[in-house]
Amino acid sequence: MSKESTLTAEVEDKKAQRNIGDPVIWGIYISLVLISMVESFSASSQIIGTGAGMYAPIFKHAILLFGGFCALLVFYFTNYKNFPSSSHSSLLLPSWLLSSRPSSGRISMVPSVPSTWDSSRYNRPKWLKYLLWLSLHGLRHHTNDAKMYPIEEFSYAPH
């Protein structure tokens, strides 16, 4: 790596550290989380009887929101340039999450189809597409969460 590119990378890193992202999107996220905490606590009165106690549903929801915030931070600190390469591996997360709940899941081989169709264009080894297909085949996937993958594929594919 040349000296110039190292310097540019350092400048880029420093600038990125100072930049916290779009403040309005942060504001919307925090507002929605706060509304969610207040309203979910209020609306969860039906399931309190079946839970461990009064605060059990909201405690569970708070943990999920915290998990979501951690996931947000992971993607927040990742440069967008790395998303195309990680889009296939990101398929595994909801597949793994939902594989233990067959009633809420859907067959997951479907979102992998566009990936395998286009895989030859991205110089991936041929065996990888079969590996992706086989590794995802049979696991279950929620269609609601799968909406993200066509967007990634669409954003990537036209170029």
The amino acid sitting at 64 is L
Contacting residues for 85 by C-beta, under 8 A, at least 6 apart: none
* Residue 57 lies near other proteins (rule: CB under 8 A): yes
CA distance 136 to 142: 13
CA distance 155 to 159: 8
The contact pattern for other proteins, residues 104-133, with x = CB under 8 A and - = no contact, is --xx--xx-xx------xx-----------
CA distance 106 to 104: 7
Query: Least distance to other proteins from the beta carbon of 87, Å?
Result: 10
Nearer to other proteins, 138 or 150 (CB): 150
Query: Least distance to other proteins from the beta carbon of 127, Å?
Result: 21
Q: Indicate the helix (H) or strand (E) that contains 40.
A: helix 23-43
Nearer to other proteins, 72 or 131 (CB): 72
Query: Least distance to other proteins from the beta carbon of 92, Å?
Result: 13
Query: Least distance to other proteins from the beta carbon of 83, Å?
Result: 7
Number of residues this chain uses to bind other proteins (CB under 8 A): 79
* Residue 140 lies near other proteins (rule: CB under 8 A): no
Restricted to residues 66-105, the positions that interact with other proteins (CB under 8 A) are 67-69, 71-81, 83-84, 90, 94, 97-98
DSSP secondary structure code for residue 1 in this structure:
-
CB neighbourhood size of 8 (10 A): 11
Residue with tokens 């929605």: 32
* Residue 136 lies near other proteins (rule: CB under 8 A): no
